[in-house]
């Protein structure tokens, strides 16, 4: 039985890596077409209203790359003039949520896209059902499936302000709010910089019913970005024990009352580590024992200290 289980996991892990490869190639093709990578999220409901660039709230990067993962028909059916989710943060003055359209977009936001999943993930196929009431900026009144991937945001997440405001910060990742990077901005080298990484989080039953991200087709708080947090915006990279505790691969200390993974942490159900997709579309399995400084260096695209995986 252990041998059979190991063989099945090997097959699932191979399929997961293949999904990552498809995402990596889609991102490269998107960049070739548009000159930059897509934003991790466009007009996040967690952003202050003064940072909006036009259009509706909570448009996810996963929706923007659909034509590049052989989902052109799904893309054609989506109406981007309606919000992908009504979640908003009243504390930063960006509410109320934008209008959604249950008749137009909901059937397509609820399409399950297996490329965005990992076959080993315990929560693959989890569906967040249609909800007619606003809950908070984590939640969505449409319905949609989880993804098991995060865009690499470096130190930053949905609340951090536009990507363009972080270009002098050594902790910038390949993706951000409102914009992704150009290939020229990845000064540490595409093969040395994380683009996308696995994201598990947990089933809500293990987390007190909380539907934190990631979910694929609505760009809400905790839904889009994986992080490697550190303390200093300038060289050298510095971090404290709380950064390591909260953002080490597969850590699970976010909500000690539950058995939850930390929001924004790269994680998987593969034994011992996660798959990362790098800027050159290569996919590598990275052990959870990786030195935290090395993880930060791989997550930051211009920290001035390019490294390679050992």
| Dist. CA 77–CA 259, nearest whole Å | 38
Please check the confidence at residue 135 and state whether its pLDDT lies above 60.
no
Which one is predicted more confidently, 4 or 109?
Answer: 109
Give pLDDT tens digits for 77-106: 999 988 888 888 888 878 777 777 777 888
* Res. 127 pLDDT band, cuts 50 70 90: confident
Residue 148 counted as domain residue = yes
Mean pLDDT for the stretch of residues 50-62:
87
What pLDDT score was predicted for residue 239?
96
Dihedrals φ, ψ of 265, to 5°? Answer: -85, 140
Q: Is the residue at 53 inside a domain? A: yes
**Position 108 in a domain:** yes
- Is 309 within the bounds of a domain? no
Domain span at residue 207 reads 2-299
Read off the pLDDT band of 293 (50, 70, 90): very high
User: What is the Cα 68 distance to its own chain's centre?
Assistant: 17
Task: Give a yes or no: residue 307 inside a domain.
Answer: no
User: What pLDDT, on a 0 to 100 scale, did the predictor assign at position 91?
Assistant: 81
Number of structural domains, the chain? 1
The predicted model gives 136-152 an average pLDDT of 83
Residue 306 lies in a domain: no
In a domain, 310, yes or no: no
Among 49-53, 96-100, 246-250, name the one with the lowest average pLDDT: 96-100
Q: What is the pLDDT of residue 224?
A: 93
Are residues 193 and 106 in contact, defined by beta-carbon separation less than 8 angstroms?
no
The rounded distance, in Å, linking the Cα atoms of 124 and 103 is: 26
Instruction: Identify whether 141 is part of a domain.
Output: yes
Distance in angstroms between the alpha carbons of the first and the last residue of the chain: 33
H or E, element range at 242: helix 241-247
pLDDT (mean) for 204-233? 84
pTM of the model: 0.94
């Amino acid at each position: 039985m252990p041998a059979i289980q190991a063989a099945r996991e090997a097959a699932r892990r191979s399929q997961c890596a293949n999904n990552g490869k498809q995402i990596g190639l889609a991102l490269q093709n998107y960049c070739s077409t548009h000159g930059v990578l897509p934003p991790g999220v466009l007009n996040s409901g967690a952003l202050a209203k003064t940072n909006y660039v036009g259009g509706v709230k909570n448009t996810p990067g996963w929706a923007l790359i659909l034509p590049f993962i052989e989902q052109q028909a799904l893309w054609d059916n989506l109406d981007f003039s309606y919000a992908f989710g009504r979640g908003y943060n009243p504390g930063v003055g960006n509410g109320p949520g934008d209008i959604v359209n249950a008749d137009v977009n909901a059937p397509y936001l609820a399409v399950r896209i297996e490329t965005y999943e990992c076959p080993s993930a315990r929560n693959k196929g989890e569906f967040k059902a249609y909800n007619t009431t606003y809950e908070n900026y984590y939640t969505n009144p449409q319905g949609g499936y989880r993804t098991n991937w995060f865009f690499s945001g470096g130190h930053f997440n949905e609340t951090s302000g536009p990507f363009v405001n972080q270009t002098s910060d050594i902790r910038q990742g390949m993706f951000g709010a409102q914009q992704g990077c150009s290939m020229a901005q990845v000064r540490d080298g595409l093969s040395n910089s994380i683009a996308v990484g696995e994201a598990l989080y947990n089933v809500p039953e293990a987390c007190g019913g909380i539907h934190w991200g990631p979910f694929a087709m609505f760009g809400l708080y905790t839904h889009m970005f994986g992080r490697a947090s550190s303390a200093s915006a300038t060289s050298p990279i510095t971090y404290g024990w709380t950064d390591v505790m909260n953002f080490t691969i597969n850590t699970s200390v976010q909500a000690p009352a539950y058995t939850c993974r930390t929001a924004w942490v790269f994680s998987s159900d593969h034994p011992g580590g996660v798959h990362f997709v790098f800027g050159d579309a290569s996919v590598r399995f990275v052990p959870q024992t990786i030195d935290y400084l090395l993880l930060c260096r791989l997550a930051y695209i211009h920290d001035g200290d390019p490294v390679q995986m050992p």
